[in-house]
Every structure is written in C-alpha cells, then in structure tokens.
Structure 1
Amino acid sequence: MLCEAVTKTFKGNYSYRFQDICIGVLSLCNSKSLKEGVCVHSPIVKLGLQDDFYLNNNLLSLYVKCFGVDHARHFFDEMPYKDVVSWTGILSAYVRNENHEQALELFGSMISFGLYPNEFTLSSVLRSCSAIEEFECGTRIQAYMVKNGFDSNPVLASALIGLYSKCGFIEEAYANFAYMGGGDTISWTTMISSLVQAHKWSQALQLYIRMVEAGVPANEFTFVKLLAASSALGLSYGKLVHAHMILLGIELNVILKTALVDMYSKCQRMEDAVKALNQTPERDVFIWTTIISGFIRSMKVREAIAAVQEMEMSETVPNNFTYSTILNACSSILSLELGKQVHSRVIMAGLKDDIYVGNALVDMYMKCSNLIDDALRVFRVMTSQNVITWTSLIAGFAEHGFAQDSFQYFEKMRAVGLKPNSFTLSSMLAACSTIKSHFQTRKLHGYMIKAKADCDSVVGNALVDAYAGLGMVDDAWRVIRNMSRRDAITYTSLASRMNQMGYHDRALNIIRHMNNDIVKMDGFSLASFLSASAGLGSTGAGKQLHCFSVKSGLGCWLSVSNSLVDLYGKCGCIHDAHRAFREINEPDVASWNGLISGLASNCYISSAFSAFEDMRLARVKPDSVTFLLVLFACSHGGLVDLGLEHFHSMRDAHGIAPQLDHYVCLIDLLGRSGRLEEAMGVMKTMPCRPDALIYKTLLSASKLHGNVPLGEDMARQGLNLDPSDPAFYMLLANLYDRSGRSDLGEKTRRLMKERGLRKSPCQSWMEIRNQVHLFTAGDRSHPHINEINEKIGSLKAEFQCRGYIYRDNGDTSYHSEKLAVAFALLSTPSKTPILIVKKLRVCTDCHDFVMLVTQVVDREIIVREGNRIHSFKKGGCSCRGH
C-alpha cells in the first residue's frame, strides 16, 4: 500500500533525490498516521542522512503519532542534532499524554542547552503548568514572553488566562485578559470559561455581553460555557442564551446540543431537554448519558431506563459513565433489584473492572442492601480502588451502624498509601457520632490537624457537627473560630444540634454570629432557626423569621414552609399553621405530618383525622411518624378502638413495622382509657424489649386509675432497668397519695432522697418583647417575684369572692406555670394571648388554676406541655379533661 502511494506520488518524476523521496513518504504517512512510514528510518541512517533536521523532525512526529511517547523519546534521545522544532515536538507529545512533570523537565533541559523556545513550545509548557498548577513556573514563562515580545500572541495570552484561573487567581486572569486589548474568539471564550470554572456565572454572562458589543464572534465552545453558567443561574438565563444561539445561526453540533440538554435537565425542564435532543439526528454516548442523568435528577427513573433502552436500540453502546449514572439512581431510590440488573449488564459489557462503575456499585450495595457483604464482594474483586471506593465503603459501614468497621477500614486505607479526602474524614466523624465516642472524635481531630486537613471547610463543618452532636458545644465553637471560611452549613449544623439538645435560645443567638460573619441564611439554616423558635415558643422571633423568608424568597423552600407549619402549630396559632400549609404548592409527607401534629396537639382531634384522610386522598404515602401522630390524637381524644384500628393497619395496609414509640403510644392509649390488662398484654407481646418509658407510661396509667399493685410492679421493673431515674419514685409516691396511702408516699420520697436522687426542677418560660423569661418552681430569684406572688394571692382571693371552687394545695402555690401566668398578666397588654411553654405535664391543680384565671380575666392562655397544647378560654380548656 505504501509503495503504491509513493509510486503514485512520484510517478513520472525520476529527478527527485532520495532525500526528497523520504521527505515525501514521511509527509504522506504523517498526514494519514501510517506506521509503514518508519521503514525509511533505516535507509536514512544507512545513507548518512541522520543529521537532517527536517527528516528527523518528521520521523519524530511519526513516532509520536503511531508508536507513542516512549518510542518517540527513545528516537529523540538518539538524534545527533536537535533544534527548537525537535524539542517542541517531543515536549508537546508529553503534554498530550498528560505527563506534565516530564514535559516541564524537558523544557528545563531545552533551556540549559541554550535553545530559545517559540510560541508553540511556550503554549505546550503553559498547558502543563496549568494542568499541575505549577504557578511559579508559569509566571517565569510569562516573564520570558514579555521580554521576547510574545505577550501579544493571542494563543499564548489565552493559555496564560487559563493558568491564572486554574491556580485560583481569577482577578489576575482577568487583568491579563484586559491587557490584551481586543482579543480574539479563543481568548474571550477562555476568559468566560475561567469565570464559569470559578463559579462566577453572572460575570461570565456579563463578559459575553461585552464580547458581543466588541464585535467578537462567538463559536460553539463559547456557548457551551455560557449554557453551563445558565444551568447554575436558572432557566430564564438559559433560554436567553439558547435564543441568542438561534439568532446568530450557530450550528447545533453534538457537543453544543449536549450542553443544551444538560442546561434544560439541570433546570428540571426535561420536556425541553428532550426537544433539544430531537432537534438533530446526531447523537453519541455523551448526550444519551446527559439525558439519562437529567431524568434521574428529576427522579424520573422509569423514563431514564426507557432512554437507556432507546439508546441501545440506536446502536449506541453505554459507557462507564452511563452505567455509573444509572447505579447512582438505584442508590437514590433504594432499588436493590434494579441495581442488581444493572450490575449484570455491567459484567456483560466488560466494565466490571472500571473504577467509576466499581465505585457506583459499592455505593449502591451499601445504600440499598441490608447485607454489607454485597458491597464488600464488589470491593474485593476490584482490580484497583481509589479514595472514592474506600470512602463509599467507610461511609456505608457508618450508616449501617458498624462504626468499628469504619475505623478498621480507615486504617487499612491509610496503610495502602491512600490519603483520605474531606468526604472520607466527614464519614469517619459520622461514625464517631454514631457510637458517641469523645475519644475517637478527638483522635480523628488530631489526625486532621497533623495532616492539615482541618483547613477544608467540608471537614471543618463535619467537626462542628460531630462535637455539637456529642454535646461538646464549646469545642464546636472553638473549631468554628479557627475555621478560615465559615458558611451557612457551619452554622446550620450547630443550630440543628442545639435544637436537639433543647438549647433553642442559644440556637437563635447563632443568627447574630452569621450576621457578623456576613454569612447569608439558606433554606436549611432558616428552617433550623424556625425550629428553634418553635421549640422556645417564641412567636415573636418566628414571625420575624417568617417575614425574612418572604423578603429573601426563601419561603418557597419546602423545608422553610414545613418549619412554618410546625412553628405556628407548636405556638397554638393553628389558623396560621393552616394558612402556611395551604401556601405549599406540593406538600410532602413532612408537610402533612406538621399539619396533623399541630391539629392533634391543639386538641383539634377530628380535624387531625380529616387531614390524615386528605393526605391519603392526595396520594401522599404516610410514614411511621404519621401513624405516631395519629395514635397520639387517638390517645388524647379517648378514641381507643380507632387507635387500635390504625395501629394494626400500619403493617397490614401500609407495610410499616411498628417501632418502640408506636407501642408506647398504644400502651398510653389503652392505659388512659383504663384498659390496663390489654396494655400489659401489648407490653408482653411486643417484639422489642420494654424500655424505661414503657414502664413509666403504665405507671402513670396506674396512678390515673388507682391501681396500686400494677403501679408497684411497673416501678420495680422500671427501677431495675434505670435505678437513677427519679420519675419512678415521684410517680409511685403520687400513686400512693391518690390511693390514700400518703405514709407510703412520704416513705418513697425519703427513699429517693436517701439514694441521692433529686427531681429535676419544673420550669416554664415565656417570651415578652423578644426576651425569654424563665420560671422555676419555688424559685424567688426573679426580680419581680414579690409582685408575682401578690398577683397569685389576689387571683385566689378573687376566686373565693366569686364563689369558685378551688382547693388550694400549698405545695403547688408556686409552681412554675402559675408564676409565669401571674407575670404575664402583670407585664403584657390586656386582651393579648399568653403563651407559656413547659416541658413536663401541667398538674391538675395548676390546670384548674389557669382555667379559673381565664374566667376572671378575659384572656386566652396557651400552655404547651411537651407536644400537647392546652388552650384556656373563658373558664374552659381545649383538652376537655382528656
């Protein structure tokens, strides 16, 4: 074939010298990448033509194209003479092969031999500097360019822009761009690309406007970058860019079409993405993978699978990224069956050794399978594992509750020489939180400091969450103060953990720290602060945050809307809760749970069941929390048979296995109604072991119905389980008192004191003019305690004067809720509703006291005890005695 080509090339012209023939052969072979061209190497050496620069450079180029950089380097080293073209040829070969360190070493050798690089040499070297972020070397190249007049070269200027932006100096990159003056399409596109990579999407689009004004034509690569920026900014920007493409008549090749599909899919507009896909018949594996990824991002897994089938019907073979994308979808919807089917297809496609597919398989099995052996089996057969593989495994162990295995594999990972990344360390911190290990957390923190990994914001945020989750709030704040960059996640983690610990006032104070750091709230942080307001019963702070959500546009976040429903429900403002719920476009299960909880806790029992039915009609599947709320509503509404019906329907109709909390609710439901034998039967037959709360629930029911033998038995079993819980002593003592055995009640209280146990002081709190006032039973430290006691006394006198029956119990005269009610009457305007929050149940005496207060004073008084709300009005209570 080669002989025919040579003959055809030189036919009829025998005057060519052999050297010219070799040049012609090499030129032809170079243009067509024909390996046969190296056959002229031997005769060149035999005839003594090995010193010819032109021949050698052409041979070097052919070796690079046909035999790779190693063979080319061997030939290069044997070349007796090398010029700048020779050096540039081998250097660019290393750059194309991504051997950037060796490329820079070669460049250093070239300079030491006294050769002067040209613009092609410099372009290759700058590419290597950018790839490995060798900024100092790049700036030396720039100095050489300026000194030798190359700084006006548009190709080199574009390469410089790429270097500066890749190394994080985006402002300096822009300064280099501005220094160029006009610039061409490549330099403008490079600068736009740099801004997109730096997540400066708005600036990228603004620069494009300047590009249009400057009369520089955009090409398809420019629009690829602009569409990437639009994906982040929103659909309206993407449509404008798309319209401009049509206006300018930009040809829609497969690369540009892929960017267009990606933009529409990221904006959740899959119909438009499919339209863009169908605009031209040209399709490759990348555009198919993009459309599949878009369907998965929109949680349209069926459509994604259909796209895979259509892709195969078009004879486009899925690649490793296609399968990785589908496996990630299996992980997100927790479909083990689909994941196994994809796994079998991976094996058939011969991709089982691919690192990306392997990582996706490990992650899928860890998230979808109850058996960690499935993931371990994939992990062990992988020919090579990277940091992502190990991290998926370590995170999976932590999620499955095998924290010790996480620690073990973390050490194995380090032993094989892999450096953990920020996600590995975050997963390890999650494992520390799972086992509540202070020691492991501090040990891991020490490793992070030593490895200088604590500077990473992801690791710093995980450390804050780990320390706060262990109750080590001061350590969490210390980490925050040492972080070079704090963001919304930093403060959201801390606020969420403080809410879990009940430090709601401290959670709200975090807002001040965020403002000082100029950190903007996002939907998650705002939801945490709304939850803190709900926990504190602070309608003032909650309404301010509600206003902020409207002004900032964060009110459209589902997490924020759900938190607003929860806030108003817990503060007794059920009409506001209902309004917040109605403003949600597509309520999810958490939205409905918030509404049902608000209605049930405010004693709107029938409305709570109506909401539950509406939820099912809306085809929102109830979860375990929903049934917990339904059982709570049945318990406090005295609806025993309905509660039993819903309890049994959990497993039978909805496939939800009852957990310990559901059994506690069921036992409470039966106990309140006096069906103590049935409650005992539930406790004995439930699949999980009874905890202290179960025994306390039955003890409370025994107290309510005066069943001393059962109460004594429950107290004995509960104290065997938790001998340091004073609640058992107090409940038993009250049972004795109510049964006319006050002697045994006093004996029980003395026994509790002898054992060094003390009842936690009953506390109530309320908010007045954005200030929280805390009241403790019997406490005289409040600055207005004398006026408060006088008010309580005057109210009792008024009861007596009006002939109301109120049996004053001296022991309850200074309970926290009475102190709070008296202070609220003294400190708030008349007609204003009063909201008081109390962790423990309101005693009968205080309940009667507040009812009589609302008969004397025309005020609504709302008292929240745990998850239940009593709304007192005109001498009545919403609980109706239940």
Structure 2
Amino acid sequence: MKTMRIFPAFIRSFKCPSIASIISYYGFSLIVKRMAYSSMAVMNSTKLGTSVWNSVIRNHLRSEKLDEARLVFDEIPSPNIYLFTMMIAGYSRSNRLEEALQLFYEMPVRDIVSWNSLMKGCLDCGNLYMARKLFYEMPERNVISWTTIINGFLQFERIEMAEVLFHKMPSKDTAAWNSMIFGYCSKDRINDALRLFKRMPFRNVISWTTMISGMDRHGESAEALSLFQQMLDSGVIPTSSTFCCALTACANLSAFNQGIQLHAHLVKLGYVFDAFASTSVITFYANCGKIEKSSKIFQENLHINVVTWTALLTGYGLNDKHEDALYVFYNMIRVGILPNQSTFTSALNSCSGLEALDSGKEIHGRAVKLGLDDDVFVSNSLIVMYSKCGDIHDAITVFNDMSSRNIVSWNSIIVGCAQHGCGVLALEFFDWMVNAKVQPDEITFVGLFTACSHSRMLDRGRKFFELLNRGTSIEVKSEHYVCMVDILGRSGKLEEAEEFIEKMPVKANSMVWLALLSACRVYHNLEVGKRAAEHLFDLEPHSSAGYILLSNLYASAGRWNDVSQIRGMMNQRGIVKQTGYSWVTLKGSKHRFVCGDRSHPLSEKIYQRLDLLGAKLKELGYVPDQSFALHDVEHEQKDVMLSFHCERLAIGFALVSTVEGSTIRVMKNLRVCGDCHSAIKLIAKIVGREIIVRDSSRFHHFRDGNCSCGDYW
C-alpha cells in the first residue's frame, strides 16, 4: 500500500496487523487523532509515542513536505522542544521565515538550541537584522551562538562587526577561530588572517587548509607551500582539499617537481578520483605547459563533471590551443554536460584568441538559452570577445544590457572603445563610471590614455596623467609613462616627449623609447629618432623592432646607405626581422597572407580582383606613396610591391570568398602601412562594404572613403 511505503518504520512499530488496514481506510490524518486519544497498548509508552511523532515529521521534512509535517505537528497534544525546533528549522530551510518566527514565539519553553536554530535560519533566509536581534535577546549564549552570529556578519561582509564580537567571545573554539581567519582571507586581509592563525591555541586541518588557500589566492603561493610543509611537520594529516590547495599553489608557481610529488600523494591516498582533486591536477599540468598530461588525466577520470571539463577547456586556452579548447566546449555539450559561467568565460576567451567572431556569437546564443548571458563574468568576456573580434557595437550592446557591473566591465568597455578609435565614447563611459561611484584602477587609466592617443586628445591626456599622478592613490607604472609618451609622440610633440622621458622619476624602459621612435617614424624626425634608437639598442640590443623602425625611418628619407648599414648590423648580430602577415578568419579557418604571397588556392582570383581594384583606384586619383616601399628599387617595382601588401591580399581573399555587402575583417601582426591605409579607404568606397583592419596598434573601420582613425594612428 502507498501508506505503508511512505511510513515503513511507523507501520512496523505496530504488532497488530489491523493497524495497516485502519490507516489505509481512514487516511493518515484520522489515524493521528486516533493515536492521540486511543488507549492502545502501543501508545502507553510516552517514549515510544514521541519517537513515532519525531519519525513521521522528520520524514515529511526530508521529503520537503512542510505543510504535511505541520498538519501532523498540530495534532500533537504537547509537542516538546525538539519537535518545535525541528519545525522551525524546516520553515527556515524553505525560506518561510515568518512562520518560523511565529512558531518560535509560540513555544512554551525555549532552550539554547532553539535560539541558535532560529538565528541560523534568519541568516539562511538573508535576514541579518533579525538574527542580530535574536542574538542580543538570548537569555544565555554558548560558543555556537557566538560563532553563528560571527559567521552571519562575515556572510554579509560586515567583517568589522564580526571582528568586534570575536574579541568579545568569553571562550572560543576552533570553529570560531577558523571562521575569522576565513573572513579575513575573503576580504584580502591576509596579514590579519596570518596573525590570527599564529595565535590559535589549537589548529585543525581546516585551519591549515583555510590559511594555505588564502595565501595562495592572495598571490603568495610560495608562502602557501611553506605553510603546507609546516602542517606536515606538525603531524596534521591533510585532506584531499588541503592537497588540492597546495597543488593550486604549485600551478601558480609552475613548481613542476613539487606538484608531481603532490599528485603522487593524491594517487597513493585514492583521492585522484575525487572530482575536485582531478580538476586541480588537470589545472596544475596545464599551468606548467603540460597540456597533454592534463588531457590524459581527464580521460582517466571516472566522474567527469562540468568542473572537470571546464578545467581542461581553460587549460587549452592557457596554452594558446584555442581550437582544441573550443573542440572541448562543443564536445561537452554533445555528451550532455551543461556549461556553467566559468565554461562560457573560458570558451569566449578562446574565441577572442582566435578572433573567431562567428563562434563567439554562437556561444553567446547558447549562454542566452541557459540564462547565463547576464552573469557579470560571462558578460565581461562577451565585451572583450566582441571588441577583439572587431565588433565594438555588439560589445557596447552587451555592456548596456548588463544588470550589474564590476570594475572589469567598465575597464573592458573603455579599453574596447579606445582600441576602436571611439575615444569620445570611451571618455563618456568613464564619466558614467565615476557617477556610478566605481573607483578607477591602473587599467582604467591605460584605457583612457589609449583613447586620448588614438583620438588626438592631447590636452585630455595631460589632464588624466595629472589626475593619476596627484589625484589618486594609484601607483604610476611604466605602462602609464609609455602611454603618455605615445600621446605626445602621436601629436607630433617629439621634443616634449623626449623631455618628458628625461624627467621621469623612474628609468625609461625599452617600450618608452620604442613609442618615441615609432612617432619619429611617422613624423620623419631623424634626429630624435636616432637618439631614441640608441637608448633602445642599449636596453635591448637583440630586439628587431628598434632596428626595423630606424631602418624604415632612413628608407623613407631615401638614405639607402644608412638602411644598408642597419641591415648589416642586424645580420652581424643575428637579428631576424619579424615577417609581416595578415589573416582572415572564415568559417573557423584562418587564411594567412604575406607580402606578394601566391601560395593560397584562390591566389589567381585574388590577384585578378586586386588588379581590377587597382584600375579603379587610379580612376579615383589614387597615387601610390612610394615612401612606404622600403627597398631601393625602380619606381614601377615599388608600385607593384605596394599593390600586393599582405593586408590587400587578405582583403582580396575576403572579397572573393564572402557575400556582397558583408563586413570584411582583417587582422595584421604589424602596423598597417600608410599607403595601404589610403588605398583601403578607397577600396571600401568602391566595393560598398565596411572593411575593418586590426593592426598592432588599433582597429581601423573603413567606410565610404573614410577611416575611423581620421588618418591619425
């Protein structure tokens, strides 16, 4: 019978066979009344009757049948404190706090357990005010009472209040100490946590594990491993969680040998089949560049879940194997594993690495279907993905649709707008950020400087640098100085930029001089350029960038003997020039081109299309700028060389491979040359399509004969 299945323990407690029939016929509510007032022998024992009530109510609560449990509870003539407390806990777990409070105040007698139970229930329901009120109303408190309210304050990030109560505790058990240490670690007060940890009269494995994890998450992974060793020396036996925390520290330090030893311990103790442990092992090997080992561990795992899949996916991304990462993502969906927000974040990061906009949009759609697109971490990754793949409009849409934002959200949209030449919009987002009471950090200012640099906003750049230097507590770092030199250099203020470098409070690094040398190349300033190059060669004598820029500077001035001398120096020192190339990602495949390349299967069609475009360019008055043909050859030869630069080949491929009217997106590893920039503006007008080119500096959006950079990059 159904009733017998639900209450087997209850039925078996009766020796009379007719009881089962009575329950089946009259129903449970009626039999409860009969039990209460019957003089049956089985109920003569008060102890046996109480155990029956306890069992029935407990079974209902375990089955989440709270209303049924209350019906039974109301039939009991004089419920004891234990039954009251059981019901109060049930209401709290179901987030029915009002009913829990009402029942609590109906109790004829309350003990400390019932007070503690309700206080914890208030915290579970998110009502810190009522939990605090109960704590102060308690006639007496034990260590559980104090620890519960301290955990409550920590839960609601009121660490100062938790700290006050902790120091007021008349006696503290290990759980209370552990709670405060965890609270300090979660609020990045790692020194306070360590100080408290050292004062503990007794430390258990939770104490050690909490401190090891906290140190590692705070960036002090070496100290975390030192603590782990101290724990072993003190005779405390680690749990699988402790091993995993230590292994994570090894991953962050790339401490391969120590990590292997920990992995061996996990295998020896049988922890390796634990999902958390196997995930830590996968992450460790991936961080150490042993992604094949991570894949092997994954395949050996018997309990593969979303966390394990995500660890492998993330590992491939860390090792720049983004295609493999996306394969893992689609494979986990195929086998029925639902991705979580961390999975989507890693997958979108791999889309960014591949500039795979189509894949990114597909993954965005999957996130929407699962309701994870509004997660702040997923949204941040979407902003970065769309920005890096050349679609700043969708990046802005994602940002505007976010229900909550963090500092990463603001920085991502500001940097994205800056890279796409939307400098004014980037500054508008910054103003919005300030009005939202979000404090900028060092990355915010890098984004602001980049916006000013790419949008000819010299005065705003100076004001932001003054704000950073004197109006904030943010440390001015080398990248900020590089940005300021870049702003001055792009504005043609080369002497001022050089003077700025000389007055810097820190020694200029190679990036600072490279920024100045690059500006000298644009403005054909040989004198400042030579001085910048000398500093650069002193700092990095084997870096090709400085030699190439100086060589190009000489070539643009027609000083071919100096060009030969620079190239001779490069050969003598074994310095190889970085090959310039451009690529287009189409249907998940990357098509790469170098200058004059004829190896692509569609080369014949590509060159035919570029020849046709060349004729139309001349009709529009285009004249090749031979100063960008950096070889001492005849003029006709220079024109041919310019016509088949790698970015033009990539555009030609896109024109013959994509539908009319669609946006063309080209990526380049070096700076786009000035002649190609002029030509692409006209090509976009001729073909009636938007052409987006991302070079090593920024994105260029070409439309109707114009570029978003305003010929300033």
User: TM (normalized to structure 2)?
Assistant: 0.78
Residues 491, 514 of structure 1: 8 Å contact kept: yes
Shift of residue 267 of structure 1? Answer: 5.3
1:425 and 2:243 matched: yes
Gaps in structure 2 of 5+ consecutive residues: 1-8, 15-50, 77-82, 626-637
Residues 185, 214 of structure 2: 8 Å contact kept: no
Q: Quote the Cα distance in structure 2 between the aligned partners of 1:607 and 1:618.
A: 16
Deviations 1:337-366 (A, max 9, x none): xxxxxxxxxxxxxxxxxxxxxxxxxx5536
Residues 696, 714 of structure 1: 8 Å contact kept: yes
Q: Indicate how the Cα distance of structure 1 residues 586 and 701 shifts in structure 2: closer, same or farther if over 3 A, else same.
A: same
Q: Quote the Cα distance in structure 2 between the aligned partners of 1:498 and 1:851.
A: 38
Q: 1:555 aligns with which of 365, 370, 373?
A: 373
Aligned partner of residue 553 in structure 1, secondary structure: coil
Residues 227, 260 of structure 1: 8 Å contact kept: no
Q: Which amino acid aligns with 1:548?
A: R
Deviations 1:224-250 (A, max 9, x none): 66457x4xxxxxx523x8658869997
Partner of 1:842: 672
Q: Which amino acid aligns with 1:703?
A: R
Q: Indicate how the Cα distance of structure 1 residues 281 and 539 shifts in structure 2: closer, same or farther if over 3 A, else same.
A: same
Residues 227, 259 of structure 1: 8 Å contact kept: no
Shift of residue 765 of structure 1? Answer: 3.7
Partner of 2:300: 482
1:706 and 2:524 matched: yes
Q: Quote the Cα distance in structure 2 between the aligned partners of 1:489 and 1:760.
A: 40
1:766 and 2:584 matched: yes
1:570 and 2:427 matched: no
Aligned partner of residue 471 in structure 2, secondary structure: helix
Q: Percent identity?
A: 29
1:296 and 2:154 matched: yes
Q: 1:505 aligns with which of 304, 317, 323?
A: 323
Partner of 2:37: none
Residues 701, 708 of structure 2: 8 Å contact kept: yes
Q: Quote the Cα distance in structure 2 between the aligned partners of 1:793 and 1:292.
A: 76
Partner of 1:82: none
Q: Indicate how the Cα distance of structure 1 residues 561 and 188 shifts in structure 2: closer, same or farther if over 3 A, else same.
A: farther
Deviations 1:353-409 (A, max 9, x none): xxxxxxxxxx5536xxxxxxxx3x665665544334444555566567665555555
Aligned partner of residue 273 in structure 2, secondary structure: coil
Residues 88, 100 of structure 2: 8 Å contact kept: no
Residues 128, 152 of structure 2: 8 Å contact kept: yes
Aligned residue-pair number: 646
Deviates more, 1:794-803 or 1:495-504: 495-504
Aligned ranges for residues 73-472 of structure 1 at < 5 Å? 152=12, 184-187=52-55, 204-205=63-64, 219-220=83-84, 222-223=86-87, 226=90, 230=93, 237-239=94-96, 243=99, 251=107, 255=113, 258-266=116-124, 268-270=126-128, 277=134, 284=141, 286-287=144-145, 289-301=147-159, 308=165, 317=170, 319-320=172-173, 321=175, 324-326=178-180, 328-334=182-188, 364-365=191-192, 375=194, 382-391=200-209, 394-395=212-213, 398=216, 405-472=223-290
Q: Quote the Cα distance in structure 2 between the aligned partners of 1:243 and 1:823.
A: 70
Q: 1:879 aligns with which of 694, 709, 713?
A: 709
Partner of 1:826: 656
1:655 and 2:655 matched: no
Shift of residue 858 of structure 1? Answer: 0.8
Deviations 1:605-652 (A, max 9, x none): 112112111111111111111111111111112222321221231242
Residues 188, 218 of structure 2: 8 Å contact kept: no
Shift of residue 600 of structure 1? Answer: 1.8
Q: Which amino acid aligns with 2:151?
A: S
Q: Indicate how the Cα distance of structure 1 residues 263 and 716 shifts in structure 2: closer, same or farther if over 3 A, else same.
A: farther
Shift of residue 590 of structure 1? Answer: 1.8
Q: Indicate how the Cα distance of structure 1 residues 404 and 298 shifts in structure 2: closer, same or farther if over 3 A, else same.
A: closer
Partner of 2:332: 514
Deviates more, 1:405-414 or 1:537-546: 405-414
Q: Quote the Cα distance in structure 2 between the aligned partners of 1:244 and 1:432.
A: 47
Gaps in structure 1 of 5+ consecutive residues: 1-148, 155-182, 196-203, 231-236, 336-362, 367-374
Q: Which amino acid aligns with 1:419?
A: I
Residues 283, 294 of structure 2: 8 Å contact kept: yes
Q: Which amino acid aligns with 2:522?
A: L
Aligned ranges for residues 36-51 of structure 1 at < 5 Å? none
Q: Indicate how the Cα distance of structure 1 residues 732 and 287 shifts in structure 2: closer, same or farther if over 3 A, else same.
A: same
Shift of residue 701 of structure 1? Answer: 2.4
1:791 and 2:621 matched: no
Q: Indicate how the Cα distance of structure 1 residues 318 and 468 shifts in structure 2: closer, same or farther if over 3 A, else same.
A: same
Residues 486, 519 of structure 1: 8 Å contact kept: no
Residues 327, 364 of structure 1: 8 Å contact kept: no
Q: Indicate how the Cα distance of structure 1 residues 475 and 848 shifts in structure 2: closer, same or farther if over 3 A, else same.
A: farther
Shift of residue 657 of structure 1? Answer: 0.8
Partner of 2:425: 607
Residues 445, 464 of structure 2: 8 Å contact kept: yes
Q: Which amino acid aligns with 1:835?
A: R
Q: Quote the Cα distance in structure 2 between the aligned partners of 1:496 and 1:803.
A: 51
Q: Quote the Cα distance in structure 2 between the aligned partners of 1:365 and 1:301.
A: 12
Residues 775, 819 of structure 1: 8 Å contact kept: no
1:869 and 2:699 matched: yes
Residues 356, 389 of structure 2: 8 Å contact kept: yes
Q: Quote the Cα distance in structure 1 between the aligned partners of 2:114 and 2:500.
A: 65
Residues 592, 615 of structure 1: 8 Å contact kept: yes
Shift of residue 520 of structure 1? Answer: 1.9
Shift of residue 818 of structure 1? Answer: 2.1
Q: Indicate how the Cα distance of structure 1 residues 856 and 638 shifts in structure 2: closer, same or farther if over 3 A, else same.
A: same
Q: Which amino acid aligns with 2:157?
A: M
Residues 181, 197 of structure 2: 8 Å contact kept: no
Q: Indicate how the Cα distance of structure 1 residues 418 and 760 shifts in structure 2: closer, same or farther if over 3 A, else same.
A: farther
Aligned partner of residue 667 in structure 2, secondary structure: strand
Aligned partner of residue 652 in structure 2, secondary structure: helix
1:857 and 2:711 matched: no
Aligned partner of residue 699 in structure 2, secondary structure: strand
Partner of 1:775: 592
Residues 605, 637 of structure 1: 8 Å contact kept: yes
Residues 286, 319 of structure 2: 8 Å contact kept: no
Q: Quote the Cα distance in structure 2 between the aligned partners of 1:587 and 1:860.
A: 31
User: TM (normalized to structure 1)?
Assistant: 0.65
Shift of residue 658 of structure 1? Answer: 1.4
Q: Indicate how the Cα distance of structure 1 residues 869 and 283 shifts in structure 2: closer, same or farther if over 3 A, else same.
A: farther
Q: Which amino acid aligns with 1:294?
A: G
Q: Quote the Cα distance in structure 2 between the aligned partners of 1:248 and 1:260.
A: 8
Shift of residue 450 of structure 1? Answer: 4.0
Which protein is bigger by CA-based radius of gyration?
A: 1
Q: Quote the Cα distance in structure 2 between the aligned partners of 1:498 and 1:576.
A: 26
Shift of residue 878 of structure 1? Answer: 0.4
Shift of residue 274 of structure 1? Answer: 6.0
Shift of residue 214 of structure 1? Answer: 9.1
Deviations 1:138-186 (A, max 9, x none): xxxxxxxxxxx999569xxxxxxxxxxxxxxxxxxxxxxxxxxxx9444
Q: Which amino acid aligns with 2:672?
A: V
RMSD of aligned Cα (Å): 4.0
Residues 645, 676 of structure 2: 8 Å contact kept: yes
Q: Indicate how the Cα distance of structure 1 residues 300 and 416 shifts in structure 2: closer, same or farther if over 3 A, else same.
A: closer
Partner of 1:531: 349
Shift of residue 879 of structure 1? Answer: 0.6
